[in-house]
Amino acid sequence: MVNNNRAVLAGGWSKNGKKFAFGAGSHKTLIGSFNEKTNWWDCKKITSFKSSVVSVSLHPSGRVVAAGSTDFSFKLFSCWIESADANDNYKGVFDDVKDFGEILLEGGGLGWVEAIAWSPNGQQVAYACLIFSYFI
């Protein structure tokens, strides 16, 4: 696991159950996957926010995570992990994603990004701020 010295404020599983995502008060987005060699869950961290990460949602493919923060920002990150994603046979909008932690999209709003949800087919994502909602 990754050292996280602040509260976990949001979390969720990938659709296939191979990964999870956490948002933390330490300004991190944490992505976990099972390591068969150690028989334990490993986490990798994404550090790109200036404040607490209060909302996270993994794309249905599990290759991308959407995260929102109390710094009024919304970001899409690549979160491909070879052990979890290499043999998933995914074909879709993010099938070329083969790295971890790259910012794919940045946005903002009028307040904390409180909630994020992907459409069932993964073609759209919506996020809600304290004052307004956005659809991408």
Domain ranges of the chain: 8-135
Hey, what long-range contacts does 35-39 have (CB within 8 A, 24 or more apart)? 35/83, 36/83
What is the pLDDT, as a whole number, of residue 4?
76
Which stretches of the chain are assigned E, i.e. beta strand?
8-13, 19-24, 28-35, 40-47, 53-58, 64-69, 73-79, 100-108, 113-118, 125-129, 133-135
Give tens-digit pLDDT for 22-44.
999 999 999 999 998 999 999 99
Question: Whole-model pTM?
Answer: 0.90
What is the pLDDT, as a whole number, of residue 1?
57
CA distances from 70 to 50, 67, 97 (A): 8, 11, 27
Assign 84 to helix, strand or coil.
helix
Candidates 2.40.10.10, 2.40.170.20, 2.130.10.10, 1.10.150.120; CATH matching 8-135: 2.130.10.10
d(CA 74, CA 91): 25
The whole-chain average pLDDT of the chain stands at: 91
Would you write out the chain's pLDDT as a tens digit for each of its 136 residues? 566 778 889 999 999 999 999 999 999 999 999 998 999 999 999 999 999 999 999 999 999 999 999 999 999 999 999 989 988 888 999 999 999 999 999 998 788 999 999 999 999 999 998 876 666 6
What is the pLDDT, as a whole number, of residue 6?
83
